[in-house]
Amino acid sequence: MQTRITELLGIEHPIIQGGMHYVGFAELASAVSNAGGLGIITGLTQRTPEALAKEIARCRAMTDQPFGVNLTFLPAVTTSDYPGYIRSIIEGGVKIVETAGNNPKQYLPVLKENGIKVIHKCTSVRHAFKAQQIGCDAVSVDGFECAGHPGEDDIPNFILLPRAADELSIPFVASGGMADGRSLVAALAMGADGINMGTRFVATKEAPVHENVKQAIVAATELDTRLILRPLRNTERVLRNEAVDRIIGKEKSLGDRIRFEDIVHDVASVYPKIMLEGQMDAGAWSCGLVAGLIHDIPTCQELIDRIMTQAEDIIRRRLEGFLSRG
């Protein structure tokens, strides 16, 4: 299947594995790329630019297909060494970067000068249009269904994707609620050029996370996620657990008096304990509504092959069939 996103990125299938904290390691990124999609290493999971350089080299040894690196630009007390990370990306020969968080404008010139394609993650049409204006090559449009930070507008993809198609001239992919061939065909029908999957790729054999995490996703339904940090206007969609219940309890009791310090122990530095050690109640962790559509743990190759087979069947049989009945 050829779309503007496969042509832009030089990949076989219009499927991207988004950057995920303590999930996007070389093992997963290479497996997705080898299966014909675009795998992405999560840059800031690597503590230093030097560590990222080693992770890129590890991924390079596992695949000869294109892969990318995610860089999330977030405000912090101690700012990450973004120039150093970008230097590692350039020296590692990576030609695709997924940016997220704050506006990446100040870093675009050096990325462009080195022939790097930039895909910016956006939770609103206005932010997607701004990304187009500043020179991003593509955008990932994240609907309210997505894991992690869905923004504050609460617009689901059934509305957000057609709106993006109306406003954008650059390619874009749909993120949030994407799990199978039905998701892909629906996204294409609404104007997208492909899909970005996060939670679905966590529940694969190659995802280098603890088995408890994968089983928690398989066991979850679409009713099992919660929104936290909304009073701080930093909303995050997470899977319900004991830590999430504690956070919600504090948000209710403290109201607009709540501060990050009140919940810091349940949200800061918890990902290694959860993703690597399988301590499922150690803190809040991102999970999308799409958990309700995830019932198994395939290999990345099996998953992507299944998505493409199902998508082709829907397009050739179901959709064409409606027309022929007339």
User: What pLDDT is recorded for position 74?
Assistant: 82
As a whole number, mean pLDDT of residues 269-274 equals 97
User: What pLDDT is recorded for position 75?
Assistant: 73
For the entire predicted model, the pTM comes to 0.96
CA dihedral 48, 63, 116, 82 (to 10 degrees): -10
Distance CA 165, CA 66 (A): 26
Q: What is the pLDDT of residues 77-115, one digit of tens each?
A: 568 999 999 999 999 999 999 999 999 999 999 999 999
User: What pLDDT is recorded for position 217?
Assistant: 98
Question: Between β-strands 96-101 and 117-122, what pairing exists: parallel, antiparallel or unpaired?
Answer: parallel
| Among 24, 25, 42, 96, CA closest to 65 | 96
3-class SS of residue 98? strand
For the structural domain made of 4-207, what CATH number should be given? Answer: 3.20.20.70
Average pLDDT, the chain: 96
Strand partners of residue 122: 141
Residue 310, pLDDT > 70, answer yes
Dig out the tokens for 323 from the structure.
Answer: 């027309």
Q: Where do the domains of the chain lie?
A: 4-207
User: What pLDDT is recorded for position 252?
Assistant: 96
End-to-end CA distance of the chain: 27
Q: What is the pLDDT of residues 134-146, one digit of tens each?
A: 999 999 999 999 9
C-alpha distances in angstroms, 101 versus 98, 150, 240, 291?
10, 11, 24, 24
pLDDT class of 127 with cuts at 50, 70, 90 = very high
Q: What is the pLDDT of residues 223-256, one digit of tens each?
A: 999 999 999 999 999 999 999 999 999 999 999 9
Distance CA 234, CA 18 (A): 20
Burial class (CB in 10 A: 0-12, 13-18, 19+), 47: exposed
Distance CA 316, CA 170 (A): 27
Q: What is the pLDDT of residues 62-72, one digit of tens each?
A: 999 999 999 99
CA-based Rg of the chain, rounded to a whole angstrom? 19
User: What pLDDT is recorded for position 186?
Assistant: 98
| Among 298, 277, 269, CA closest to 211 | 277
What are the φ/ψ torsions at residue 42 (nearest 5 degrees)?
-85, 110
Q: What is the pLDDT of residues 147-159, one digit of tens each?
A: 999 999 999 999 9
The percent of residues in the chain predicted with pLDDT above 70, rounded, is 98
| Among 285, 98, 100, CA closest to 202 | 285
Strand partners of residue 69: 41, 97
CA dihedral 75, 76, 81, 85 (to 10 degrees): -60
Q: What is the pLDDT of residues 172-230, one digit of tens each?
A: 999 999 999 999 999 999 999 999 999 999 999 999 999 999 999 999 999 999 999 99
